[in-house]
């Protein structure tokens, strides 16, 4: 039996771990803020068993393995409970809602730091050949070749490689690469891809890695995570702009649970480093999506608390609950549409996406 077809199951520990970390952030800060917690669940209902009870809070194991949840008092009624989340003032409610996002960012920083400490930090000022197809191999490219120049233009970013190749009009280009410390010159005629509608070398691009100590790894994990968050935010803004017609839509698109499972399986086949790297990227995606001011997400609940703090007047919890319920239905509808697209891509043999995915948002009950 070919077990490689089951590689998509790698999404269960990756996404499940990240969601549990997110909920642990809510749980820990909720406890510190004196919010009553009725249950902490690993996985999604129906409940399989109660693992243990700690300080009156049941920790449960549930049958659906993706994710987890923390149930605060007052989320499903009982808004008048003085210890409920709904009754808490904004100064206590906002930290609880922000804690899940912060936990995911911290997790990404730690995971990147571990990756950099073990496998080195990618030199973002150099571009190397990370993979080759048959055309690239025949052209003379070898994995780990570092680009020095193309037609005399120094190379320090992968976008430069793409731009110079795409504007070559299929004419031979002179490519200088560094291989095992020695510079070599290749004459390559870019291949036109009808599918991508552009000229290409047939190489996957990456950054060469350099050894760093543990302190450098931690600092780099911090700076790299926030750099990626900035790029993800800009990519999301471009995606929204593409939908509104204010700018060209970026390459790629959204991926739902099915698409993420496909991507995770593909990455898992590449090895532990790539799997951990992808999990860290998912953690940042999870943080970014859930801080957006969309009803049912943490960002929206923070907005409600801020409005309440500014007005100095409590918003009726029943009305806020209705807004979040509508938002949850809209999110589930979007998730269904994206899942249909993911399944269609599988049937047609199309790739999942060509950009970091948007994971399933975490919605509070």
The catalytic residues are 23
Among 153, 126, 137, residue whose Cα is nearest residue 188: 137
- Give the pair of three-digit tokens for residue 3: 């077990």
Alpha-carbon gap, residue 284 to 94, rounded angstroms? 20
- Give the pair of three-digit tokens for residue 273: 């480093």
**What is the maximum alpha-carbon separation in the chain?**
75
Contact assessment for residue 207 and residue 201, using Cβ atoms and an 8 Å cutoff: no
Alpha-carbon gap, residue 221 to 204, rounded angstroms? 24
Kindly list the distances between the CA atom of residue 34 and the CA atoms of 269, 277, 308, in Å, as whole numbers in the listed order.
Answer: 44, 36, 20
- Give the pair of three-digit tokens for residue 38: 């009725």
- Give the pair of three-digit tokens for residue 228: 């990626």
């Amino acid at each position: 039996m070919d077990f490689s077809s089951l590689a998509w199951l790698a999404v269960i520990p990756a996404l499940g771990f990240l969601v549990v970390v997110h909920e642990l952030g809510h749980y820990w800060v909720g406890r510190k803020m004196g919010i009553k917690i009725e249950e902490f669940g690993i996985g999604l209902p129906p409940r399989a068993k109660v693992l243990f009870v700690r300080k009156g809070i049941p920790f449960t194991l549930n049958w659906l393995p993706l994710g987890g949840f923390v149930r605060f008092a007052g989320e499903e009624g009982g808004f008048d409970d003085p210890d409920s989340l709904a009754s808490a003032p904004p100064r206590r409610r906002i930290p609880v809602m922000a804690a899940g996002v912060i936990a995911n960012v911290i997790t990404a920083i730690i995971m990147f730091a571990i990756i950099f400490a073990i496998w080195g930090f990618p030199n973002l000022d150099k571009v190397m050949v990370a993979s080759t197809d048959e055309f690239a191999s025949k052209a003379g490219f070898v994995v780990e070749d570092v680009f020095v120049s193309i037609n005399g233009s120094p190379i320090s970013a992968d976008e430069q490689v793409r731009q110079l190749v795409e504007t070559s009009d299929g004419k031979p280009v002179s490519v200088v690469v560094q291989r095992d410390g020695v510079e070599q010159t290749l004459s390559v005629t870019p291949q036109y891809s009808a599918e991508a509608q552009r000229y290409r070398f047939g190489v996957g691009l990456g950054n060469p890695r350099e050894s760093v100590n543990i302190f450098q790894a931690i600092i780099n994990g911090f700076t790299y995570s926030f750099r990626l968050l900035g790029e993800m935010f800009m990519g999301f803004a471009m995606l929204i702009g593409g939908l509104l017609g204010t700018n060209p839509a970026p390459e790629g698109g959204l991926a739902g649970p099915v698409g993420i499972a496909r991507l995770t399986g593909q990455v898992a086949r590449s090895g532990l480093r790539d799997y951990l790297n992808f999990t860290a990227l998912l953690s940042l995606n999870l943080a970014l999506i859930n801080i957006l001011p969309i009803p049912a997400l943490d960002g929206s609940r923070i907005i409600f608390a801020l409005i309440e703090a500014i007005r100095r007047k409590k918003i009726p919890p029943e009305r806020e609950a209705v807004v979040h319920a509508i938002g949850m239905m809209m999110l589930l509808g979007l998730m269904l549409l994206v899942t249909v697209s993911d399944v269609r891509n599988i049937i047609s043999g199309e790739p999942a996406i060509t950009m970091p995915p948007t994971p399933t948002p975490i919605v509070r009950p």
